[in-house]
């Protein structure tokens, strides 16, 4: 870790071709599911192959930014950068207060796991833990391909998802808090330097832990897991915007014998499906 607001990591474990999934943990699978839900077509699949081929090097994670080099068809690797909106200072103060009152979160992260209700907590603070739309990302690649995303950009995102398997802290670093900074803030709160009561994180009586827990850093009692909070349920996924985005990415459909207005008929079907989902189905 290098900067207070982010993290720089080089030389992380690379995906091995044909030997393991790119994402095996629920949070990295969620990240790849979000990516593939953008309806970006075959470019994401080509990016997946590039990721498996070990073409992504020097991936650096900073607050609101990913940077990497990707070996393409030319001798010199292409520079790739992806920007997103990191959580603001005010939003992180709110998130740190939640961390200080839920002892299990930091303990799970230190054990290499992402709390299952963390996405909902970020949503409560007005932050999307995973980028909800492709337009939430600003991407740039040095290759001559004008399409967005090119396979090099897609490869960086898949490698990032793969590295989240081993280090879920990278996801928080992308949002502006690396491991050292967050743990330091929680430790200060536990010692009473960050405030008092629930906001400071030192008083854990509300969780039934007693005065003994007051002298412990928030992440220490691994056996004291936070109680389920019905308010922090995983948010429903957003529908595509526009609903027919997947069709737009596919381009014109040239099917033998198809009616000339097939494209518009399918687009209308997508719009109705989002507006009036079947009973018992999700948002789309």
Determine the average pLDDT of the residues in 69-82: 94
The number of beta carbons lying within 10 Å of the beta carbon of residue 130 is 17
Angle at the Cα of 76 from the Cα atoms of 174 and 147, rounded to 5 degrees: 60
Helical segments of 167-261, H only: 169-174, 179-190, 197-200, 245-250
Residue 189 structure tokens: 């709160």
Proportion of the chain above pLDDT 70, given as a percent: 65
Domain ranges of the chain: 26-215, 239-284
Report the pLDDT averaged over residues 136-155.
91
Sequence length of the chain is: 284
Q: How far is 252 from 263, CA to CA, in rounded Å?
A: 7
DSSP-based three-state secondary structure for 263: helix
Cα–Cα distance for residue pair 61/157, rounded to 1 Å: 11
State the pLDDT confidence band at 167, using cuts at 50, 70 and 90: very high
Note the pLDDT of residue 279: 59
- Banded pLDDT at 170 (limits 50, 70, 90): very high
pLDDT tier, 199 (very low <50, low <70, confident <90, very high otherwise):
very low
Confidence class for position 210, pLDDT limits 50, 70, 90: very low
pLDDT digits (tens, 9 = 90+) for 11-42: 455 565 555 567 789 999 999 888 888 777 77
For the cut 70, the answer to whether the pLDDT of residue 246 exceeds it is no
pLDDT at 241: 64
Q: Does the pLDDT at position 136 exceed 60?
A: yes
User: Does residue 1 carry a pLDDT above 50?
Assistant: no
Q: Is residue 211 over pLDDT 80?
A: no
Mean pLDDT, to the nearest integer, of 166-192?
86
Mean pLDDT value across the chain = 75
Quick one: which of 247, 50, 225 has its CA closest to 151?
50
In terms of pLDDT, which residue wins out, 115 or 263?
115
Range 62-84 average pLDDT = 94
pLDDT for residue 259 is more than 60: yes
């Amino acid at each position: 870790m290098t900067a207070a607001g982010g993290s720089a990591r080089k030389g992380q474990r690379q995906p091995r071709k044909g030997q393991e999934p790119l994402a095996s943990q629920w949070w990295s699978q969620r990240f790849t599911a979000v990516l593939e839900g953008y309806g970006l077509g075959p470019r994401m699949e080509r990016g997946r192959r590039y990721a498996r081929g070990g073409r992504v090097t020097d991936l650096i994670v900073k607050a609101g930014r990913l940077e990497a080099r990707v070996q393409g068809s030319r001798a010199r690797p292409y520079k790739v950068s992806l920007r997103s909106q990191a959580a603001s200072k005010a939003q992180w103060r709110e998130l740190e207060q939640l961390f200080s009152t839920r002892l299990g979160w930091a303990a799970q992260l230190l054990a290499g796991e992402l709390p299952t209700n963390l996405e909902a907590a970020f949503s409560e603070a007005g932050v999307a833990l995973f980028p909800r739309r492709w337009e939430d990302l600003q991407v740039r690649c040095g290759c001559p391909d004008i399409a967005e995303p090119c396979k090099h950009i897609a490869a960086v995102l898949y490698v990032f998802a793969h590295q989240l398997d081993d280090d879920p802290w990278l996801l928080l670093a992308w949002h502006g808090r690396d491991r050292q900074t967050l743990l330091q803030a929680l430790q200060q709160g536990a010692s009473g330097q960050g405030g008092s009561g629930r906001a400071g994180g030192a008083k854990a009586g509300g969780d039934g832990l007693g005065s003994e827990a007051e002298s412990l850093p928030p992440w220490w009692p691994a056996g004291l897991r936070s109680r389920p909070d019905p308010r922090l349920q995983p948010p429903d996924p957003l529908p595509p915007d526009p609903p027919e985005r997947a069709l737009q990415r596919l381009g014109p459909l040239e099917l033998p014998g198809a009616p000339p207005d097939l494209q518009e008929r399918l687009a209308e079907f997508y719009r109705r499906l989002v507006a009036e989902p079947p009973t018992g189905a999700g948002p789309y």
